[in-house]
Amino acid sequence: MRARLVAAATGVALVAAGCGAAETTGSADAGITIFNTEPENPLVPGNTTETGGSRVLDPLFTGLVEYRGEDAQPANAMAESIETTDSKVFTVKIKQGWKFHDGSPVTAKSFVDAWNWTAYGPNATQGATFFSQIQGYQDVHPADPDGPDGPEKAPTPTTDAMSGLVVVDDHTFTITLSEAFSVFPVTVGYEVFAPLPEAFFKDRAAFEAAPIGNGPFKFVSRQPGAEIKLTRYDDYQGSDKATFKDLTLKVYQSRESAYADLVANNLDFLEELPPNALAGKKYESDLGDRVVQRETLNNQTIAFPFYLKPYDNVDLRRAISMAINREEITQRIFEGTRKPADGWVHPLMKGYTPGQCGEYCTYNPEKAKESFQKSGYTGEILLLSNTDGGHQEWAEAVANSIKNTLGVETRFVPSTSFGEFRQKVNAHEMTGMYRSGWIADYPSIQNWLSPLFRTGASSNDGLYSNPAFDAKIAEADKATSEDEAIKLYLEAERIVAQDMPSIPLWTQNTIAGKSNRLKVANLDPFRTLDVPSVEVG
pLDDT tens, residue by residue, 202-214 = 999 999 999 999 9
Label residue 262 left, alpha or beta by phi (over 0 means left) and psi (-120 to 50 means alpha): alpha
E-only strand ranges, 252-379? 269-270, 291-303, 338-340
Global pTM exceeds 0.85: no
- In this predicted structure, what is the pLDDT of residue 10? 36
Residues in the chain: 537
Q: How far out from the chain centre does Cα 74 lie?
A: 16
Q: At what angle do helices 314-322 and 482-499 cross, to 10 degrees?
A: 100
Sign of CA dihedral 514, 515, 521, 526: negative
Label residue 527 left, alpha or beta by phi (over 0 means left) and psi (-120 to 50 means alpha): left
Distance of alpha carbon 166 from alpha carbon 4, whole angstroms: 25
Instruction: At 251, give phi and psi (nearest 5°).
Output: -90, 125
Instruction: At 211, give phi and psi (nearest 5°).
Output: -60, 145
Angle at alpha carbon of residue 215, lines to 212 and 217, rounded to 5°? 80
Q: 36 pairs with which residues across the strands?
A: 251
Distance of alpha carbon 179 from alpha carbon 477, whole angstroms: 9
Backbone Cα Rg of the chain? 22
Distance of alpha carbon 201 from alpha carbon 195, whole angstroms: 12
Is cis: bond before 451, omega within 30 of 0? no
Sign of CA dihedral 321, 456, 129, 191: positive
Asked whether 283 and 420 are in contact (CB, 8 A), the reply is no
> How many CB atoms within 10 Å of residue 152?
9
- In this predicted structure, what is the pLDDT of residue 503? 98
3-state secondary structure of 456: coil
Per DSSP bridges, beta strands 172-176 and 89-94 are antiparallel
- In this predicted structure, what is the pLDDT of residue 7? 34
Distance of alpha carbon 395 from alpha carbon 400, whole angstroms: 9
Asked whether 293 and 521 are in contact (CB, 8 A), the reply is no
Using alpha carbons, select from 96, 30, 98 the residue that is nearest to residue 236. 98
Q: How far out from the chain centre does Cα 102 lie?
A: 28
Distance of alpha carbon 357 from alpha carbon 500, whole angstroms: 9
- In this predicted structure, what is the pLDDT of residue 419? 82
Q: 81 pairs with which residues across the strands?
A: 93
Distance of alpha carbon 290 from alpha carbon 520, whole angstroms: 9
Asked whether 96 and 112 are in contact (CB, 8 A), the reply is no
DSSP labels, 172-197: EEEEEBSS--TTHHHHTTSGGG----
- In this predicted structure, what is the pLDDT of residue 144? 81
Is cis: bond before 310, omega within 30 of 0? yes
Query: Which parts of the chain have pLDDT scores under 70?
Result: 1-28, 146-149
Distance of alpha carbon 515 from alpha carbon 248, whole angstroms: 14
Label residue 329 left, alpha or beta by phi (over 0 means left) and psi (-120 to 50 means alpha): alpha
